Amino acid sequence: MMLRIKRVPTVVSNYQKDEGEDAARRGGGCGRNCLQKCCIPGAKLPLYTFKRAEEIPGDKCVLEHDDNQAPVAFLDSLLLGQWEDRMQRGLFRYDVTACETKVIPGRCGFMAQLNEGRHLKKRPTEFRVDKVLQPFDGNKFNFTKVGQEEVLFQFDASEDGEVQFFPDAPVDADSSPSVVAINVSPIEYGHVLLIPRILECLPQRIDRESFLLALYMAIEAGNPYFRLGYNSLGAFATINHLHFQVNIWCPAIYMISEATAAFIYEISTIVLNHDVFL
């Protein structure tokens, strides 16, 4: 079974080249339109606010799906629509939609993809992965160094308890917004990153608050094929800045949520380090 997505011509933008190359200056800041103090004052980005969970006694919260219609279709119009816009603007290092992909025959339904760009054009790891937990190093590449055009939208809790969308909202540096940004070296169509509290420069170490944020995003997506995962430095995370991988898996892929406990144990004995999407 062969799966193909319509090809879209893609070029490498100045913002995706190695940092040693000079990008065109835009006036003001560092000229790269980044997310650091030099460029963030006065910046505006789309903002999607979700309804916060209800707190109940015992430090617990109840996560529920709100049946009220959202102001914008979160998955189709916002996330995937903005992703396609960035693809048309040439912000990816390669055209992932041109990769040959097929489903391997068998009961597992594993998908195989020949993605040469991710091997040849992906940004190299800038640190030694000898410890799962490492302190954040601002001198290494991190997500505050990306161009603002790579950010799809801000994603934070609503202050008035209502789901809202603002197409042009100021970036409040003091509150350190969480953002959704493209992965410039995608593994599949629609591959993005959820970056909690981006300006706090947190190392790649999951915590309760960031985990809840990821759950909120999954609720807003409201799609059975929406997958959001976390991988540590010892499981092929190549940037030591707290983030989650987000993707929409093809329905043909075998879903781990449908697997039996015995089968999960069976494959876990042969697969040690990998990215997991749940």
Tell me whether strands 151-157 and 44-50 are parallel, antiparallel or unpaired: parallel
User: SS3 string of the chain?
Assistant: CEECCCCCCCCCCHHHCCCCCCCCCCCCCCCCCCCCCCCCCCCEEEEEEECCCEEECCCEEECCCCCCCCCCCHHHHHHHHHHHHHHHCCCCCCCHHHCEEEECCCCCCCEEEECHHHHHCCCCCCCCCCCCCCCCCCCCCCHHHCCHHHEEEEEEECCCCCCEEEEEEECCHHHCCCEEEECCCCCCCCCEEEECCHHHCCCCCCCHHHHHHHHHHHHHHCCCCEEEECCCHHHCCCCCCCCEEEEECCCCCCCHHHCCHHHHHHHHCCCCCCCCEC
Q: Which residue has the tokens 């706090």?
A: 200
The residues annotated as belonging to the active site are 243
From residue 263, alpha-carbon distances to 87, 235, 260 in Å are 38, 22, 5
Residue pair 106/85 in contact (Cβ under 8 Å)? The answer is no
d(CA 192, CA 84): 11
